[in-house]
């Protein structure tokens, strides 16, 4: 083992062009330190699943190198793969098998005996709340249960790096929160490094220490969540007026990058609290009484929208 000496994942100058000619990754490099909770963000088709496929050995890269805890995936694929657990975006177990069989067989592929795997699988199924389904054909599981089954399957060999491709897609709010708690406890209590992709920016904001934003096969932004949020050192506010928004007032607020949102709402951006105060004074001075002011939430979403234009 090479505990602590290497980052969990190093991706260097990785490119991918599919057989169809589609250039899915232009040139991607990134480092995920051990113990990190890392998010990949990016619109549909950005290349997130492609990177995960390359790291986990089911997609061939066209160029570049990948190391998992220091093990090069081309030179020491077995060692690299033994460190990774993956929850794919699409369901990829045989729905006619039972959850217990699926997990215990997966353990087998990692060289873990049935004797050892069965109690471990049962305990994972229990902590993910699907223990009572363990002996039914898994096609009888709901969508959310199938996702949890794949999380249990990914953890059976105690991976040091857990990769989840949209684990909470199509999962209800309650379950999503409990998945968050579960994932948090994995990093905090067991020191597992987690890489996830999600389209719920709030999720990344809540969970992750670092993010990379991928757009059209390139990483266009990456860093700590704090830094990324700090990129947008302005705050946005939605101001609802008691009267109609006129073009003139939007013009007068140009310094605040004002935008008309609807009949009575303007969005403005300010660098600090004083800016907001000045804007309010300006509005009042021009005879526009204010009904309501809200700080626009979802700042990560804002960065995302700005960067990707989506």
Partner 1 sequence: MNAKKLWISFMTIVRKDVLRIFKIWPQTFLPSVVTSVLYFLVFGTVLGEQIGDVDGFSYLQFVVPGLVMLAVVTNSFSDVATVFFVSKFFSRNIDEILVSPTPPSVIIAGFVGGGIVRGVLVGALVLLVSAFFVPISFAYPSVVLLFLVLSSLVFSLAGLVNGIYAKSFDGISIVPTFVLTPLVYLGGVFFSIEALPGFWRDLAAANPIFYLINGFRYGLLGLSDVPIATSIAVLVGLAAALIAANWYFIRTGLGLRQ
Ligand X SMILES: Nc1ncnc2c1ncn2[C@@H]1O[C@H](COP(=O)(O)OP(=O)(O)OP(=O)(O)O)[C@@H](O)[C@H]1O
**For binding to partner 1 (CB under 8 A), which residues are involved?**
18-19, 53, 56-60, 77-79, 81-82, 84, 86, 88, 90-95, 102, 105-106, 108-113, 153
Region from 39-47, 65-73, 118-126, 218-226 binding ligand X, contact rule CB under 6 A: 39-47
Q: Considering the complex, state which of residue 20 and residue 233 has its C-beta at the smaller distance from ligand X.
A: 20
Applying CB under 5 A, which residues contact Mg ion?
A: 48-49, 89
Q: Least distance from C-beta 25 to Mg ion, angstroms?
A: 13
Q: Does 44 participate in binding ligand X (rule CB under 6 A)?
A: yes
Q: Least distance from C-beta 163 to partner 1, angstroms?
A: 10
Q: What is the distance between the alpha carbons of residues 111 and 302, in angstroms, rounded to a whole number?
A: 46
Q: Considering the complex, state which of residue 44 and residue 233 has its C-beta at the smaller distance from ligand X.
A: 44
Q: What is the distance between the alpha carbons of residues 309 and 189, in angstroms, rounded to a whole number?
A: 38
Q: Least distance from C-beta 219 to partner 1, angstroms?
A: 21
Q: Least distance from C-beta 268 to partner 1, angstroms?
A: 47
Give the x-and-dash track for 51-90 against ligand X (CB under 6 A).
--------------------------------------x-
Among 30, 32, 48, 155, indicate the residue that binds ligand X (CB under 6 A).
48
Q: Least distance from C-beta 106 to partner 1, angstroms?
A: 6
In this structure, are residues 270 and 280 in contact, taking their beta carbons and an 8 Å threshold? no
Q: Least distance from C-beta 146 to ligand X, angstroms?
A: 17
Among 11, 28, 38, 49, indicate the residue that binds ligand X (CB under 6 A).
49
Choose among 233, 185, 174, 231: nearest CA to 207: 185
Q: Considering the complex, state which of residue 27 and residue 97 has its C-beta at the smaller distance from partner 1.
A: 97
Among 7, 42, 85, 144, indicate the residue that binds ligand X (CB under 6 A).
42
Q: Which of residues 83-122 bind ligand X (CB under 6 A)?
A: 89
Collect all residues with Cβ–Cβ distance below 8 Å to 202 and sequence separation of at least 6: 298, 300, 301
Three-class SS of 85-101: EEECCCCCCCCCCCHHH
Total residues contacting ligand X by CB under 6 A comes to: 13
Q: Considering the complex, state which of residue 79 and residue 296 has its C-beta at the smaller distance from partner 1.
A: 79
Q: What is the distance between the alpha carbons of residues 272 and 261, in angstroms, rounded to a whole number?
A: 21
Among 2, 13, 45, 255, indicate the residue that binds ligand X (CB under 6 A).
45
Q: Least distance from C-beta 40 to ligand X, angstroms?
A: 8
- The option from ligand X, Mg ion, partner 1, none interacting with 110 (CB < 5 to 8 A, set by class) reads partner 1
Q: Considering the complex, state which of residue 101 and residue 278 has its C-beta at the smaller distance from partner 1.
A: 101
């Amino acid at each position: 083992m090479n505990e602590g000496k290497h980052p969990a994942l190093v991706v260097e100058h990785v490119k991918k062009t599919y057989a169809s000619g589609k250039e899915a990754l232009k040139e991607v490099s990134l480092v995920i330190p051990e113990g990190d909770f890392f998010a990949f963000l990016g619109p549909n088709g950005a290349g997130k699943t492609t990177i995960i496929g390359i790291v986990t050995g089911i997609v061939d890269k066209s160029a570049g190198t990948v190391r998992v805890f220091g093990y090069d995936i081309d030179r020491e694929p077995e060692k690299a793969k033994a460190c990774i657990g993956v929850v794919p975006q699409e369901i990829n177990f045989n729905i006619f098998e039972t959850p217990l069989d699926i997990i215990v067989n997966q353990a087998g592929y990692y060289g873990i005996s049935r004797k050892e795997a069965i109690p471990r699988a049962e305990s994972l199924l229990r902590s993910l709340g699907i223990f009572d389904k363990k002996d039914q054909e898994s096609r009888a599981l709901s969508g959310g249960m199938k996702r949890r089954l794949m999380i249990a399957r990914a953890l059976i060999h105690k991976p040091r790096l857990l990769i989840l491709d949209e684990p909470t897609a199509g999962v209800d709010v309650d379950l999503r929160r409990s998945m968050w708690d579960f994932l948090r406890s994995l990093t905090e209590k067991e020191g597992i490094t987690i890489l996830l992709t999600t389209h719920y920016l709030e999720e990344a904001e809540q969970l992750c220490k670092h993010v990379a934003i991928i757009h059209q096969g390139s990483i266009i932004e990456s860093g700590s969540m704090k830094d990324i949020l700090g990129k947008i050192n302005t705050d946005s506010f939605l101001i609802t007026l008691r009267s109609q928004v006129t073009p003139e007032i939007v013009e007068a607020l140009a310094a605040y990058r004002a935008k008309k949102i609807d009949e009575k709402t303007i969005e403005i951006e300010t660098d600090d609290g004083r800016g907001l105060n000045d804007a309010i004074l300006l509005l009042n001075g021009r005879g526009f009484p204010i009904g309501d002011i809200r700080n626009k939430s979802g700042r990560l979403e804002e960065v995302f929208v700005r960067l990707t234009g989506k």
